[in-house]
Amino acid sequence: MSFSPEAVAEMNVLLLFTPSTHLKGIKIHHTADPALVAAAQRLHEQGFITQADGGYLTDLGTRASEHAHTLFTMLNAETESLSASHVG
């Protein structure tokens, strides 16, 4: 099992948000990476964000963004930990 490129792009869009506040939204311009533009559209269609080009997180989107941020932090902490343990 692995993440599809589309799911990775969707997670990258969710990482652009600050899940701790509903007051900060994002705007993905039409000139952005086409994968991110399409990911935002899918997230909007699935009810995670309020606009097809970003907007704000919905309640569902807030939970998803929190999980994406947690996973990102966990994976990067493991990478940093491994790098530190290999330093001579």
Q: How high does pLDDT run on average in the chain?
A: 91
Instruction: Report, in this order, helix, strand and coil percent for the chain, each rounded to 5.
Output: 60, 10, 30
Question: Quick one: pLDDT at residue 79?
Answer: 59
User: Which among 60, 67, 53 has a CA at the least distance from the CA of 25?
Assistant: 53
What pLDDT score was predicted for residue 18? 92
Domain ranges across the chain: 5-85
pLDDT tens sequence across 43-73? 999 999 999 999 999 999 999 999 999 999 9
